[in-house]
Structure 1
């Protein structure tokens, strides 16, 4: 029986989540389809553009993503505080970018106010919209549904494009976040679809490497910390150069099947999250194999289970082995 979403997502535990959507029957509906002998690679561009667009509308940041031929990975950061600080008009204007809204909200945007007797209705609607702007389920719904409709229209058919439920995993600490981001970014290399980060198209690492050439970070992605002043702000808790270097070295090891590459290699991220080389390589190659639920250190998993009132600590032993 599927785990209820309320037991998978808790902002009291963490704002970071790994989500996966898969095509029905894991068919290659976004790549070369052996059955129809057609190439649907352009649909990966659809998904990438839609994902980055939604990140500008929702109060949800994209940390990492990889759009593959039959599935899509995203690592998301929920910025609830940002949603709560938006004005009512900002909330409605954002929501109207993805949905039509109501006659009352359209009047509110047009005139800047509404008649007194419908103000309570407007207030309730704004409350609903505000909550949706930091809701992962709504984010994934508005990512997947338009893509499914476009694909069905292109194929001149009806039916499901995605599996009915997307999968979500809580990333409970910095070690889990770093490992999961690298796992997602290295997806094309693990699958043998790319040899280098530069060739890993339709991924966040491709955008980050491209921007790094100009010593910048992509505006469409959540930024890495650039110094001590940023640590208290809305930044990923690693330095961009350290992350790019670590993912590049890990990708080379995966491609060359050289597990010992990192023994003499020192990286501040591995030291920061207290991961050894062997554990890191296992996590970035077999993360979903070992973890089907929340990911993190033993203490983090215990705390998460307490928050969601879950008695059984799933994956506790493998967490102790890999995270220490």
Structure 2
């Protein structure tokens, strides 16, 4: 077996488990680490088929002890989501096998089909990708599963927010006051719950970013039932940190232009947008690291903190 990346070696028990879920005569001949994973290790596996061709699968393994504690729940939810998405208009990986309790693998693991395309985090072409992201999210929210996933969960509170050094103190104090209030009423929707550029694959034909198209959406482990505003807010925050605050504000407009429906009252919209922005304040280091590894080396923790401050301030100016 060829490792394109030495760190990508599949552990023996997991490799045996994967092999049991291949077609007769198939075998794993190569592995490659995939970038961007925060909670789990991601690997692309090259499978040699009986006819001499190859195909790819993706293996997700929860190795970090902190995340492994939650892996059983996450993998059950992702398994349900991938099953639900089969045959819908939303392109997602196909489920091959899952071992949520590490009964057969070294770590809790999920094996799924590989989707064509790649994540695109560059500033170039963002004006084309934002409407595509919005239309894709509207399609996700239009799904009506026979069995709803669990209700959304938010962990950030007014007391856990981490105000960046040098931030606009008045704007942050006002934003924190917003999430002290009860959550607004909402009409439930099927949520991805981590919809953002790092979990969307694009086919971008150089040299024309304007010809980009979405080939799939990955990482369905946090699938939930809740307000569309929450998914929109999460993508908006990520766009603001990746490309500048204006793109976070632009995404909410693009979502509505694509036919999505958000809370009618400005104060209700502000609640969800601010809640996600403040939640990111606790995770700036973990959020920005994969972006730097993907080539956005200028997005240091400090730069991302400054963009988050500017974004929260812009939200309070626009809707507060």
TM-score over 0.5 for the pair: no
Q: Which has the higher strand share?
A: 2
Higher relative contact order (CA 8 A, sep 6+): 1
**TM-score with structure 2 setting the length:** 0.28
**TM-score with structure 1 setting the length:** 0.28
Q: Which has the higher helix share?
A: 1
